[in-house]
Amino acid sequence: MKILIPPWFDLMGLNPDAPEDEVGIKKAAENVKTLIEHESLLAPTSGWHHGIELSAALHRNFPQAADGSAKDLAILQCHGELDPMVPIQFDALTAERLQSYVTAARIQVKTYPVIMHSSRSGDGSCKEFLEKLLPPV
């Protein structure tokens, strides 16, 4: 199985032992690194399914990520329990991997019992999360 996702990197499979698109991951990490270097540090960064893999690649190659300054980064991780594309079991693996460079108490994991591979409108989780991080307008 191979799913082409040009803006990010390709998925070669949907299990933890599947091969990885190393070239695509490195290219996406470089693109994000360039964005981080040019964007305001006040703006929160967000991402979707590819985020954890990309953050791991950045952590290895981006000095600010490797120096421990990201330890207090706030993370909201949401996932639909019925997602046929990215199995719910990946949530625990993702949270575990994030804890290697972010304080565990700063990671919020939310699962949604009846959601598939999509977002849930009207939930308010993302809005509440961002309101805690950003100054009032």
Tens-place pLDDT, residues 19-56? 888 888 888 888 777 776 665 555 555 555 556 556 66
83 phi and psi angles, rounded to 5 deg? -65, 115
Give yes or no for residue 123 having a pLDDT over 70.
yes
Give the pLDDT of residue 55: 62
Give the pLDDT of residue 92: 83
Tell me: the pLDDT tens digits for 54-95?
666 666 666 665 566 678 888 888 888 888 888 888 888 888
Give the pLDDT of residue 45: 58
- Please give the DSSP secondary-structure letter assigned to residue 45: P
Helix (H) or strand (E) holding 74, with range, is: none
What ranges do the domains of the chain cover?
A: 22-133
What is the CATH number assigned to the segment(s) 22-133? 3.40.50.1820
Give yes or no for residue 112 having a pLDDT over 80.
yes
Cβ atoms of residues 94 and 62 within 8 Å = no
